[in-house]
Every structure is written in structure tokens, then in C-alpha cells.
């Protein structure tokens, strides 16, 4: 049993650290619920619809990569579908993230002691990524948990024996399959785990081929999970390769995922990826800054958890500079929330780093100070990103402003119809009552514009050259709604433009 003596803490201090850990976990849950965003009117709407299909076992008749994330749809999507509200999915996501934190803290408590667990709780619960984006129905949080658990199983298998060793390897492969099912990025844990199983076992020379056999067992468990998922998709859609065909369709038809024509273009695209996730307002920036220091120190000192540092480095670089295809140069689309997957690896690597110095009597006090200051530093660095981003994601503020605008014009002119573009009609599903939405009129594709109010989606319709944009832009303006729905809007240094303009025809 590893105790907190490694950190120079004994007796009553051990109990204090455990109380602090519990308090931090509870406080992080409260903060996430307070910062709950709920519907955003983008990817979550697709997930919601596919979760509804899954709940009723309806056919997946259309190919869409959001329908190809079965484990996420089952764990986070089904609660939303059962209740009939994306808010339920957002709350489920918050609770799942807290469950992830409890698992990571339990692991740190078991391996490194109470002080390390408390420090890990601070890192997990008070970074900009895990607070800003917790309250949305998106897969990154669940993905981080599945990938981390797979890595833990691979790591622990090296120190286990006999039956437990093989069970850990199998569990690691199954969890990697689950991560891949949550989101395609989950497959990135496989090469890291395989490399550890093959290279880190010092005993493999005594039994030639054993580590390769265990790597094969890991891959076999991964493949078995994928086959089971394929059988479910065959039952749902008649296509066992549904998710593969769906992601291929995305690669071939969307503007975000396309092959580049030269190495220069690929480098330019990945440069902008790096810029996007390290700009001052990105929630990923504070995590990447602290991770860069912790992982470098962990790897250079070869701490006991250097594997988690190396895995974190690999995941970070691949998210920014990797390709989504092995045969073509296709830069990955990137958003700061994607880096949620590295947060558990940062927490564990930090504990291993502090534990490395705690073994030396002359550095125990320094290790304890780092255990306290590291999560505090990360929390302070995260404040700007939380202030700028909390409460606003994708179309969430646009949807809320559109709902306000529709309420205003219906109150002022209850007999005049409200026309909306097809894209805006879809987004509004999450922000207005269904009976009001049914009264909206979708703008006709051609012909004269009937009398009434007109609302376009200011991003999707203008950027994609919606065929009626120019016709409606020339109309007279009735009202404009440009409310800032961020939770800390008064503290934000800049105002976001989320304006909804209502035009009208007499």
C-alpha cells in the first residue's frame, strides 16, 4: 500500500488531504453545473437525433459521422433522448466528467498517496477545458475517460502477473475499442498502448514473443469490440461498415476535411491548427502550457508515469500536426475542446513528477509546494479562457437571440408570419417550443417573398451563399437582437457579435 509518506505527510495530514480531495471534486461539479451551456444547435443536434433513433431502434437511413459514435450515443445521448431534451445530455456529460475525475483521483490515491490525489483533483477540475465545455452534449469528455482507462490497463499490465495480467490487456483493448466508438480520435490510444506493452516489459526476453502475444491480445480485444459495434450497425442500418462509410463521406464532401495538394499546404494548415489552440482565448492554451512543463520534466527525469507523459505528447502533436488519412495528407480539423483527452494524462504525469522528487528528503517540501501550486497555477491561467468562452459555443448565443427576436415580433405583430431559412429552422429546434416552431414558415427557394418577417442564419446562410441571402438582405430591417449570453460577459474584454437581424415585407 503506497501512502502519502512519499510526500512527507503522515497521520492527520493524510485525512486532511482526503477531505481536500473530496471538496475539490464536489466544487468542480458545482462549477460545471453553474457553467452549463446546454444546447448549442450544432453537432449536439445531430447526436440528439441519432440518440432518438437508437432509443426507438429506428433505422439509420442516412450516412453521417455523428451517427457513427455508438458508445457516446448510448451513454450520453440516450438520457437526452429518453427525457426529450439536450439539457439532459449536457447534465449527463457533467456527471460523466465528474465520474472520470473520481476514477483518476482514485488511481492517484492508490499509486501515489493522498496529496497527489488532491493535486490531481485540482488539475482535473479547475482547468479551462473541463469547466468551459463540460455542460454540452459532445463526446470529448467521455473520449478522454475511455482513452485514459485503456492506457491505465496497458500500463498496469506490465506489473501484473498471470491471469490479472491478461485480463488487464484484454480490458485495455476493449476500452480502446470503446474510445474509438465514442469518436474516431480514440484509435490514437492504440499505438501508444501497444508500444508500451511491447517495449516496457523487461521480462519479455525471458519468454520470447510473450510481449508480442500480449500486444496481439490487446489488438484482438480491440477488434472484437469493433466487430460487436459493426453488428449493431448492421442491425440499425443494414450496413456493417456504416461508420467507416460515414466518415469516408465526410472526408469527401466537407470543406473542413480535405486533402491538400502539397507538403507546403499541409504545413500551412497545421500551423493554423497550432495557432488556433494556442491563441490567448483558447481553453486549450493553459492546459498545453502546464502540460509542456510537466511532461518535459517527467520524460527527462524518467519518472514512474513517464508513459502517460509520452502518451500526452503523442496525442497533442497528432491532434495538431497529424493527418486523418494514412494514404493522403488530410490535416485534422481542430478545436480547443478536442484537447480534453490530454487532461487526465497531465494530472497523472504531474503526480508522478512530484512523487519523483518526494523520494528525496531534500526535495519533499518542494514536492509538496508543487502539489499545491500546480493546480492553482493552472486554475489562474484558465480564468481568461473561462471568462471569454463560458456560456457561448458554436450557435448557442445565435439560437437564444433568434428565440428572443421571434418572441418579440410575434408579440408585436401576432398575425404576421415569421419566415426562416432552412438552416435557422433546424437550429431553432433546440431554442423554442415545438408549437411555436411549427408556426414558422420556411423561406421558399424561389419566387416572390410573401409578406411577413424574415430571419437568416448569419453564419451558415451568408458563408455558404444561401440562394436567398441577397434577396432578404435588401429588405427593410424591423429589429436586431445582439445579446451577449456569456456567463461572464461583463468581465470579457471584447464583445462577441451574435446579431440576429429581422427583416420584413409589408
Q: What's the CA gap between 314 and 342, in Å, rounded?
A: 10
For β-strands 441-442 and 418-420, DSSP reports them as parallel
> Worst-scoring range by mean pLDDT, 161-175, 308-322, 324-338?
324-338
Q: What's the CA gap between 151 and 147, in Å, rounded?
A: 6
Q: Is the pTM of this model over 0.85?
A: yes
Residue 305's Cβ-side half-sphere holds a number of Cα atoms within 13 Å equal to 28
> Which pLDDT value is given to residue 459?
87
Read off the pLDDT band of 5 (50, 70, 90): very low
The DSSP 8-state label assigned to residue 2 in this structure reads: -
3-state helix, strand, coil in the chain (%, to 5): 70, 5, 30
Q: Can you read off the three cell numbers belonging to residue 367?
A: 514536492
> Which pLDDT value is given to residue 14?
55
For β-strands 500-505 and 476-481, DSSP reports them as antiparallel
pLDDT of 476 > 90? The answer is yes
pLDDT of 461 > 70? The answer is yes
Q: What's the CA gap between 102 and 152, in Å, rounded?
A: 14
Helix (H, G, I), strand (E, B) or coil at 215: helix
The predicted-structure confidence for 246-291, as pLDDT tens digits, reads as follows 988 876 555 556 667 788 888 989 999 999 999 999 999 999 999 9
Place of cell 519523483: 356
The predicted-structure confidence for 12-57, as pLDDT tens digits, reads as follows 445 788 999 999 999 999 999 999 999 999 999 999 999 999 999 9
Mean pLDDT calculated for residue range 318-335:
86
> Which pLDDT value is given to residue 369?
80
The phi-psi region of residue 211 (left if phi > 0; otherwise alpha if psi is between -120 and 50; otherwise beta) is: alpha
Q: What is the mean pLDDT of the chain?
A: 90
Other beta carbons within 10 angstroms of residue 444's beta carbon come to 11
> Which pLDDT value is given to residue 145?
98
C-alpha separations of 230 from 69, 178, 235, 259 in Å: 11, 12, 9, 27
> Which pLDDT value is given to residue 10?
42
Read off the pLDDT band of 494 (50, 70, 90): confident
Other beta carbons within 10 angstroms of residue 10's beta carbon come to 10
The DSSP 8-state label assigned to residue 391 in this structure reads: T
Helix (H, G, I), strand (E, B) or coil at 64: coil
Mean pLDDT calculated for residue range 401-423:
95
pLDDT above 90: percentage of residues in the chain: 73
Q: What's the CA gap between 342 and 292, in Å, rounded?
A: 11
Which of 100-104, 277-281, 366-370, 483-487: highest mean pLDDT? 100-104
Mean pLDDT calculated for residue range 382-406:
94
> Which pLDDT value is given to residue 162?
83
> Which pLDDT value is given to residue 36?
95
Mean pLDDT calculated for residue range 217-236:
97
Which of 451, 420, 413, 412 has the alpha carbon at shortest distance from 437? 420
The predicted-structure confidence for 178-207, as pLDDT tens digits, reads as follows 999 999 999 999 999 999 999 886 555 556
Read off the pLDDT band of 208 (50, 70, 90): low
> Count of residues for the chain?
506
Amino acid at each position: 500500500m503506497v501512502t502519502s509518506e512519499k510526500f512527507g505527510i503522515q497521520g492527520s495530514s493524510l485525512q486532511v488531504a482526503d477531505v481536500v480531495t473530496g471538496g475539490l471534486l464536489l466544487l468542480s461539479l458545482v462549477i460545471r453545473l453553474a457553467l452549463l451551456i446546454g444546447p448549442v444547435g450544432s453537432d449536439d443536434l445531430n447526436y440528439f437525433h441519432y440518440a432518438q433513433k437508437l432509443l426507438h431502434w429506428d433505422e439509420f437511413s442516412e450516412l453521417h459521422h455523428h451517427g457513427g459514435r455508438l458508445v457516446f450515443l448510448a451513454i450520453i445521448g440516450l438520457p437526452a433522448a429518453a427525457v426529450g431534451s439536450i439539457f439532459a445530455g449536457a447534465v449527463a456529460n457533467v456527471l460523466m466528467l465528474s465520474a472520470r475525475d473520481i476514477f483518476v483521483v482514485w488511481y492517484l490515491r492508490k499509486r501515489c498517496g493522498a496529496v497527489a490525489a488532491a493535486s490531481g483533483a485540482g488539475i482535473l477540475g479547475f482547468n479551462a477545458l473541463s469547466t468551459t465545455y463540460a455542460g454540452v452534449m459532445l463526446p470529448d469528455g467521455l473520449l478522454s475517460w475511455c482513452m485514459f482507462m485503456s492506457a491505465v490497463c496497458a500500463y498496469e499490465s506490465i506489473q501484473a502477473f498471470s491471469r490479472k495480467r491478461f485480463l488487464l490487456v484484454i480490458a485495455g483493448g476493449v476500452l480502446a475499442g470503446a474510445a474509438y466508438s465514442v469518436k474516431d480520435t480514440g484509435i490514437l490510444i492504440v499505438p501508444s498502448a501497444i508500444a508500451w506493452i511491447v517495449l516496457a516489459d523487461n521480462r519479455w526476453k525471458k519468454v520470447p514473443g510473450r510481449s508480442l502475444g500480449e500486444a496481439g491480445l490487446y489488438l484482438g480485444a480491440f477488434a472484437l469490440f469493433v466487430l460487436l459495434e459493426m453488428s449493431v450497425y448492421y442491425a440499425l442500418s443494414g450496413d456493417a461498415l456504416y461508420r467507416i462509410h460515414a466518415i469516408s463521406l465526410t472526408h469527401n464532401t466537407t470543406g473542413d476535411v480535405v486533402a491538400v495538394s502539397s507538403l507546403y499546404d499541409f504545413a500551412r494548415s497545421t500551423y493554423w491548427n497550432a495557432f488556433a489552440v494556442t491563441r490567448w482565448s483558447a481553453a486549450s492554451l493553459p492546459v498545453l502550457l502546464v502540460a509542456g512543463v510537466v511532461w518535459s520534466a517527467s520524460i527527462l527525469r524518467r519518472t514512474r508515469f513517464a508513459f502517460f507523459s509520452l502518451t500526452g505528447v503523442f496525442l497533442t502533436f497528432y491532434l495538431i500536426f497529424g493527418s486523418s488519412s494514412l494514404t493522403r495528407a488530410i490535416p485534422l480539423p481542430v478545436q480547443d475542446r478536442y484537447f480534453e483527452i490530454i487532461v487526465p494524462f497531465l494530472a497523472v504525469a504531474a503526480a508522478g513528477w512530484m512523487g519523483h522528487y518526494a523520494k528525496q528528503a531534500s526535495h519533499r517540501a518542494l514536492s509538496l509546494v508543487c502539489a499545491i501550486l500546480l493546480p492553482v497555477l493552472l486554475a489562474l491561467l484558465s480564468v481568461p479562457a473561462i471568462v471569454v468562452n463560458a456560456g457561448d459555443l458554436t450557435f448557442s448565443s445565435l439560437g437564444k437571440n433568434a428565440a428572443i427576436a421571434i418572441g418579440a415580433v410575434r408579440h408585436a405583430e401576432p398575425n404576421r408570419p415569421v419566415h426562416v431559412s432552412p438552416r435557422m429552422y433546424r437550429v431553432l429546434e433546440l431554442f423554442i417550443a415545438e408549437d411555436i416552431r411549427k408556426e414558422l414558415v420556411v423561406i421558399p427557394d424561389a419566387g416572390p417573398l410573401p409578406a411577413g418577417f424574415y430571419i437568416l442564419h448569419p453564419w451558415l446562410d451568408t458563408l455558404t451563399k444561401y440562394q436567398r441571402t441577397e434577396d432578404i438582405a435588401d429588405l427593410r430591417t424591423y429589429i436586431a437582437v445582439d445579446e451577449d449570453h456569456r456567463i461572464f460577459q461583463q468581465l470579457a474584454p471584447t464583445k462577441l457579435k451574435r446579431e440576429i437581424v429581422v427583416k420584413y415585407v409589408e
